[in-house]
Amino acid sequence: MSCRPLQRRGAVHIWVAILLVVLIGFTGLALDTGYGVLVGNQLQNAADAGALAAAREVRSAPSNVRGLAVAITGQNRAGRLPVNIDADNDVIIGTFDTATRTFVQGGTSPNAVRVTAHRTEGSPDGGVPLSFGPLFGTNSADVTRTATAMAIGPDFPALLVLHPSSRCALTVSGSATLTVTGGPVHVNSSNPSCAACIGGNSEVHASALNTFGQACINGGTLLDTTVNTGVAPYPDPFAALPAPPIGSPLGSITVGTGQTVTLAPGNYSGGLTIRGTAILSQGVYVVGGTGLKLNSGAVLEADGVMFYIAAGGMSVSSGVDFSLLAPDPTRHSFVGVDTYAGISIFQARTNNSTATLSMSGNIALDGVYYFPNAALNITSSGSRSGARFIASELKFTGSGEIIIDYHAPSPSDSPTYLVE
C-alpha cells in the first residue's frame, strides 16, 4: 500500500500553517502601518496648527511664539493623547527664503516658525504602540512630523527714509553701530550716485538694506546685511494721518532745572523746553514756536503721549532720561487715542526743521517717530529703541551702538501660510 497521498496531505497542512502565519504577519503589518499613518497625519495636523498660529506672532511679538506653538499644538491629539512638544527643542524661529525654499534658524528679522511634533521613544508619550509588532519583537514605532509656516505680506521697514531723490538720504558714519531688527531698512531716494551712504568705521546689522538708488559703502564699514538696489519706493504708511486739532494757545513753557512739573495736553504754541523733570499726562501735545527741547539733565516721563511738532523742530540733548510711550487704546483713553495709536512723534508736514535725538541717557522709546518732510539726526553712545523711525532723511552718528528693535504692531498685519 502506498502512503504518498497521505504525505502530500500532511505537506499541504504544513504549507497552510506557514501561509497562515505569513498572512497574519502581513495583516498585522498592514494594521500597524495604517495606525502609524493615522497617527502621523494627526501629528502633522498638530504641527501645522502650531506653526501657523506661532508664525502670526513672529514679527509682532516674538516672545510669544514658543508658548503659543506649544499651546495650539497641545490642543490636538495623536494616538488618543494630546500632542506634547518641547518649547526649546521642537519650536524653531527662523527665516524662510522663498527664492531658494530654504529655512535657516534665527536671522536678524525672522519671518517663519518650524514646529516638530513627534511620538518617539524619547518623547514624553513614547512611540506609537503597535498591536502586532510585539509578536515580532517590536513594541512601538517612532513617528515624527514637521511643519514650517511663514508670515507673508509687506516686510514693514523698521527704518524708512522718504526723500525721493536726496543724496545720502540715509547716512551712517563715524564709528556708530546700527543694529535693526524686526524689519528691513528702506531708502526711497532714487539718487543715482548715493541714495545711502555708509562710511567711516561704522557697522550696519539688518535683515536687508533696500534702496531705490545706489548704495555707497565706504571705508572700514562692516556690513552685515543684504544690499538690494533698484527696489521700488515704499509708500508712506502715514500719508493719510491727519494733523490734530490745534486748540487754544498756551504760550511757551519751560520746566527749570530742579523743578518737577506735571503737564497736561494742549497747544504749547511758544514751545516746550524741559531742563528739570516733566511728567506728562496722556494725550496729544501740540508744540510750536521754538519747538520741543529737552536739555541735558532733563527727565521726561510720558505714557500715552503723542507730540505734534507744529513748528521749531525737536531737540533731545545727551544725558536726558527719556521715557516716551505711544498712545495705546487698550491702556489709554482720550480724544484721538484711536487715530494716533502707536505714534509718539508726528512733525507737521509743513515743518522741515531738522530734528536731533541723542540716545545716551536712560532711553525708553516705542511707537513711530514720524518726520515726513524733515531730517532726523540720531547720535548714540549705546542705547536701544523699540521705535520705528520714518523721516525724509535719516542720519546715524556717534561711537556707540544704536539698536532699533521694532516689530509690526499687529499680528493681523502678517497673514501666514505653510511653506513646508
Q: Answer yes or no: is 287 within a domain.
A: yes
* pLDDT value, residue 359: 81
Report the run of H or E that residue 72 belongs to, with start and end.
helix 65-74
Q: What percent of the chain has pLDDT over 90?
A: 49
**pLDDT tens, residue by residue, 377-412:** 998 876 666 688 999 999 998 888 888 877 655 444
The residue from 104, 130, 151 where one domain ends is 151
More confident of the two residues 7 and 125: 125
Q: What is the pLDDT of residue 353?
A: 97
Q: Is 418 inside any structural domain?
A: no
Whether 419 maps to a domain, the answer reads no
Backbone phi, psi, residue 129, to 5° = -70, 140
Q: Is residue 62 part of a domain?
A: yes
> 39-57: b or e for each residue (b if 16 or more CB lie within 10 Å)?
bbebbbbbbbbbbbbbbbb
Do 141 and 164 have their domain in common? Answer: no
366 shares its domain with 397: yes
Query: Are 237 and 247 a contacting pair, CB within 8 Å?
Result: no
Do both 196 and 312 map to the same domain? yes
Q: For residue range 327-354, what is the model confidence (pLDDT) as tens digits?
A: 999 899 999 999 999 899 999 999 999 9
Residue with cell 505537506: 11
pLDDT in tens, 220-264: 788 888 898 998 888 888 999 999 999 999 999 999 999 999 999
Both 120 and 173 in one domain: the answer is no
**124 with 221, same domain?**
no
323 in the same domain as 253: yes
pLDDT per residue as tens digits for the range 44-69: 999 999 999 888 877 666 778 899 99
- Is 331 a domain residue? yes
Structural domain contains residue 420: no
The mean pLDDT of the chain is: 85
Last residue of a domain, one of 151, 183, 205: 151
Question: Would you state the pLDDT for residue 407?
Answer: 63
pLDDT of res. 411: 42
* pLDDT confidence bin for 1, thresholds 50/70/90: very low
Return the pLDDT at 324: 92
* Residue 197 burial (10 A CB sphere; 0-12, 13-18, 19+): buried
What average pLDDT does range 281-294 have in this prediction?
Answer: 97
pLDDT for the residue numbered 154: 56
Cell readout for 216 is 555707497
Residue 389, sorted as left (phi over 0), alpha (psi -120 to 50) or beta, turns out to be beta
pLDDT for 32 equals: 62
With beta carbons less than 8 A apart as the criterion, state whether 328 and 291 touch: no
Domain identity same for 221 and 313: yes
Closest CA to 387 of 314, 335, 288: 314
The answer to the question of residue 267 being in a domain is yes
pTM score above 0.75: no
pLDDT value for 8: 56
More confident residue, 312 or 382: 312
Query: What are 175's three cell numbers?
Result: 564709528
Mean pLDDT of 315-326: 90
Distance CA 319, CA 381 (A): 10
> What's the structural domain count of the chain?
2
**pLDDT confidence band for 11 (50 / 70 / 90):** low
Strands (E), 167-221: 170-172, 177-181, 185-187, 196-198, 203-211, 215-217
Weakest mean pLDDT among 17-26, 37-46, 85-94, 365-374:
17-26
Residues 258 and 164 in one domain: yes
Q: Quick one: 187 and 334 in the same domain? A: yes
Residue whose grid cell is 498585522: 28
Collapsed DSSP state (helix, strand, coil) of residue 375: strand
> Final residue of a domain: which of 151, 173, 192?
151
Which pLDDT score is estimated for 234?
Answer: 86
Q: Is residue 11 part of a domain?
A: yes
Task: Check whether 92 has a pLDDT greater than 80.
Answer: yes
Look up the domain containing 183 and give its range.
159-413
The per-residue pLDDT for 174 is 85
How far apart, in whole angstroms, are the C-alpha atoms of residue 132 and residue 139? 8
Among 52-56, 286-290, 318-322, 415-419, the minimum mean pLDDT is found in 415-419
Query: Same domain for 180 and 205?
Result: yes
Determine the pLDDT at residue 235: 87
pLDDT score of 152 more than 80: no
Residues 223 and 370 in one domain: yes
pLDDT of 243 reads: 95
Both 137 and 281 in one domain: the answer is: no
| Contact in structure between 268 and 286 (CB atoms under 8 Å) | yes
